[in-house]
């Protein structure tokens, strides 16, 4: 039985921080290149939802029997974050949803567990992370924010495997290299040379064991990425793999940054989007040991089309001012609009309206075809009562009918741009725009829906949908760095 990846997607936030801006402010820190930055209305759960939507869009016949969500920076503790992703994807109640604990290694661990579980059905593995650090620190500049989703299953009709799992290896060792205690927002690290002395031999041994398990040699590998928060060790190990010139693939460190728990999935998505059928791709991850995954692409890869390639997302990014980055991260506190902060969302009300709140599902009058957003029991056309069918609007594009820019309403990052949207296929709804420059918004502009966080009050995150502009891959973008 062939088991492997049925579909995969990465999600990279729209904003980028130029690392050179750090030194301009503080006189030290920063570096070359850029890092991805999650918006003020994004967290690891919302990014995970967006990655999962992209992965499932590229494999519409896939029906996950379980969701496994891994992150080192969960939006909630105690509460399961995977259930929010489950609700946003509108999966049946019998689809299990589990979080894989808060370690960096939980990302590759969840993915490898799914890959080796032949005959266990289809599993949606979602990995996501927000990387933080004190201003001028290496973690601040070298980190990045992103998510990835991998549909893992057995090859079958309608769900062909695009990358067959050949084998892998995991080696574990207990040593203190990087740690963060509960309640801390910054990670601490031991002396860099010590970590290198542990990771390089562990990675070398795991690499050899992974090749042996896959039944190949280093010469057979076409694409490989070595990743880990210990950048020095990852680079040193890359020189010891014995692969041919040009086989080491872009680890996205210069353009996106090191995205922690999410990075294995992100670089794997990037490699598969650029690979050809019959090639062997591998990932080596360094975190509290070493993990190796080896896969071979299948003929089905030629017919698979990513919904939004990682390279296109990276190319479409726009710069974010460093001061705005510090504000979004809570490192500096700006004067807020002089309006009351929102009160916490009602748990019971959210549960009663789950399909609408998390799935953006409206209602459609069976007789007249009128679409209601939010869903209604009474039709606005003809007055039919309780004669509706659900209609999913989360994946529908819409057109801005009119809009307003509100500089007084409370927001972590004012101003707020509100718009009235007319949806393709029916439905009109007022919604907040995100990932947009207020100066470029215009009537007639096309937008698409994205799962975001409206606000947080009393420790409760109010998740719902916002709209963002439809951006054609490779097209010039007029958005400036005045972030929403």
Express each pLDDT in 446-480 by its tens digit: 999 999 999 998 999 999 999 999 986 544 443 33
Measured CA angle at 33 (ends 32, 38), to 5 deg: 130
Q: Backbone phi, then psi, for 406, in 5-degree steps? A: -105, 115
Phi, psi of 471 (to 5 degrees): -115, 125
DSSP code, position 182: T
Taking only the tens place, the pLDDT of each residue in 237-248 is 999 999 999 999
pLDDT at 480: 39
Q: Please report the pLDDT score of residue 483 as a whole number.
A: 53
Is a pLDDT exceeding 50 seen at residue 301? Answer: yes
- pLDDT value of position 344: 83
Structure tokens at 442: 């215009």
Reading the block at residue 199, the tokens are: 């990771």
Query: Cis bond leading into 415, ω under 30°?
Result: yes
The yes or no reply on domain 3-328 and CATH 3.40.47.10 is yes
What CATH number has the domain spanning 347-469? 2.40.50.840
Measured distance CA(249)–CA(252) in Å, rounded:
9
Tell me the C-alpha distance between 451 and 46, whole Å: 6
Q: Is 167 left (phi over 0), alpha (psi -120 to 50) or beta?
A: left
Cα–Cα distance measured from residue 410 to residue 402, given in angstroms and rounded to the nearest whole number: 21
Alpha-carbon torsion (225, 5, 2, 169), positive or negative: positive
What is the pLDDT of the chain when averaged over all its residues? 94
Across the range 23-45, mean pLDDT stands at 97
Angle, CA 271 vertex, CA 270 and CA 273 arms, to 5°: 65
The residue ranking higher by pLDDT, 335 or 142, is 142
The pLDDT assigned to 324 comes to 95
| pLDDT for 477 | 45
pLDDT, residue 406, reads: 92
CB 424 within 8 A of CB 398: yes
Among the residues of 164-244, which ranges form H helices?
192-214, 231-238
Q: Residue 1: pLDDT above 80?
A: no
Task: Tell me which residue has tokens 């567990």.
Answer: 113
Looking at residue 408, its pLDDT comes to: 85
- pLDDT for the residue numbered 341: 75
CA 484, CA 40: separation in Å to the nearest integer?
9
Q: Is the pLDDT of residue 190 over 90?
A: yes
Q: What is the pLDDT of residues 365-418, one digit of tens each?
A: 999 999 999 999 999 988 889 999 999 999 999 999 999 999 888 888 889 999
Q: Which residue has the tokens 């070359």?
A: 32
Closest C-alpha among 166, 127, 123, 130 to residue 147: 127
Q: Dihedral of the CA atoms 210, 214, 215, 220 (nearest 10)?
A: -80
Query: What is residue 438's predicted lDDT score, i.e. its pLDDT?
Result: 94
Judge whether 3-328 and 347-469 match in fold.
no
For the stretch 77-114, pLDDT in tens is 999 999 999 999 999 999 999 999 889 999 999 999 99
Checking if the pLDDT of 191 tops 70, the result is: yes
Q: Are 409 and 462 in contact (CB under 8 A)?
A: no
- pLDDT for 482 equals 45
Q: How far is CA 256 from CA 92, 187, 279, in A?
A: 34, 19, 25
- Claim: this prediction has a pTM higher than 0.85: yes
Domain definitions of the chain by residue range: 3-328, 347-469
């Amino acid at each position: 039985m062939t088991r492997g990846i049925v579909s995969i997607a990465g999600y990279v936030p729209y904003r980028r921080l130029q690392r050179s801006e750090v030194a301009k402010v503080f006189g030290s820190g920063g570096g070359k290149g850029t890092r991805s930055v999650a918006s003020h209305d994004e967290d690891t759960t919302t990014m995970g939802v967006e990655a999962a939507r992209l992965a499932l869009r590229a494999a519409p016949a896939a029906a996950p029997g379980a969701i496994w969500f891994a992150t080192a920076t969960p939006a909630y503790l105690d509460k399961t974050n995977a259930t929010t992703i489950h609700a946003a994807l509108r999966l049946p109640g019998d689809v299990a949803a589990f979080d894989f604990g808060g370690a960096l290694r939980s990302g590759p661990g969840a993915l490898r567990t799914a890959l080796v579980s032949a005959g266990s059905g289809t599993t949606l593995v979602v990995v996501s992370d927000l990387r933080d650090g004190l201003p001028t620190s290496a973690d601040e500049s070298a980190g990045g924010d992103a998510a990835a989703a991998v549909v893992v299953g057995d090859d079958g009709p309608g769900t062909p495997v695009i990358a067959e799992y050949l084998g892998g290896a995991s080696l574990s060792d207990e040593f203190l290299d990087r740690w963060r205690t509960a309640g801390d927002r910054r990670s601490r690290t031991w002396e860099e040379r010590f970590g290198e002395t542990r990771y390089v031999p562990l990675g070398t041994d795991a690499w050899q064991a992974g090749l042996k398990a896959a039944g190949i040699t280093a010469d057979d590998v076409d694409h490989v990425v070595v990743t880990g928060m210990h950048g020095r060790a990852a680079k040193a190990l890359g020189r010891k793999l014995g692969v041919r010139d040009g086989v080491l693939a872009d680890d996205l460190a210069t353009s996106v940054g090191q995205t922690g728990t999410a990075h294995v999935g992100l670089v794997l998505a990037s490699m598969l989007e650029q690979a050809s059928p019959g090639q062997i791709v591998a990932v080596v991850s360094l975190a509290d040991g070493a993990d190796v995954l080896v896969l071979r692409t299948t003929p089905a890869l030629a017919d698979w089309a990513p919904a939004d390639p990682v390279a296109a997302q990276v190319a479409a990014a726009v710069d974010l001012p460093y001061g705005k980055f510090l504000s979004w991260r809570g490192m500096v506190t700006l004067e807020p609009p002089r309006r009351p902060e929102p009160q916490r969302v009602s748990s019971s009300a959210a549960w009663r309206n789950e399909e609408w709140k998390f799935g953006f599902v409206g209602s459609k009058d069976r007789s007249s075809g009128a679409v209601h957003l939010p869903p209604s029991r009474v039709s606005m056309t003809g007055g039919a009562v309780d004669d509706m069918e659900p209609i999913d609007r989360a994946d529908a594009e819409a057109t801005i009918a009119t809009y307003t820019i509100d500089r007084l309403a409370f927001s972590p990052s004012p101003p707020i741009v509100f718009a009235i949207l007319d949806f393709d296929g029916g439905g009109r709804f007022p919604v907040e725009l995100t990932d947009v420059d207020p100066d470029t918004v215009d009537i007639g502009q096309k937008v698409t829906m994205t799962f975001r966080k409206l606000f947080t009050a009393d420790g409760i995150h109010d998740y719902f949908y916002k709209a963002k502009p439809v951006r054609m891959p490779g097209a010039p973008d007029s958005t400036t760095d005045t972030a929403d």
